[in-house]
Amino acid sequence: MRVIRALPALLLLAAALSCQADVPAGLPGCGNGCPSGGGGSGLGAHEVHVRNNYYSPSTLNVGVGDSVTFTWDTGPHSVTFPSGGAYPNVDLGVQSTGSITIIVPQSGTYSYYCTIHGANAMSGTLIVQ
């Protein structure tokens, strides 16, 4: 139940942070200016590059409350968390450029994939501790 209640806030936050403009250091979405955290500190900033038929890194270990920025280097590709995970049916959309930041709300292992290429051809995993 908590996951479903957190989903609208997560989507709103991802949309708000997608522009990435002039965000002060220490806040989600601040890119390389964020202090590093991890281990559940809520201050870790991580990046996944959406590349030509793969995510880099394909597996990422993060802490609860950390931010993960998906940056499109080539496209078109999507980042889609299938139903049954912390982000049921969340699709960050098909893009060729730009970035979207999410905040990881709870621990677990969450797979995502590109809807254009399919999970067998292009997938990634967030491991949240």
> Taking the CA of residue 77 as centre, how many other CA atoms within 13 Å lie in the half-sphere pointing to its CB?
29
pLDDT in tens, 31-68: 333 333 333 445 699 999 999 999 999 999 999 999 99
Query: Comparing 16-25, 36-45, 61-70, 102-111, which segment has the lowest mean pLDDT?
Result: 16-25
Q: What is the pLDDT confidence band of residue 69, given thresholds at 50, 70 and 90?
A: very high
Domains identified in the chain and CATH numbers: 2-18+40-128 (2.60.40.420)
| pLDDT computed for residue 82 by the predictor | 84
User: Rounded mean pLDDT of the chain?
Assistant: 73
Q: pLDDT-derived band of residue 70, with 50, 70 and 90 as boundaries?
A: very high
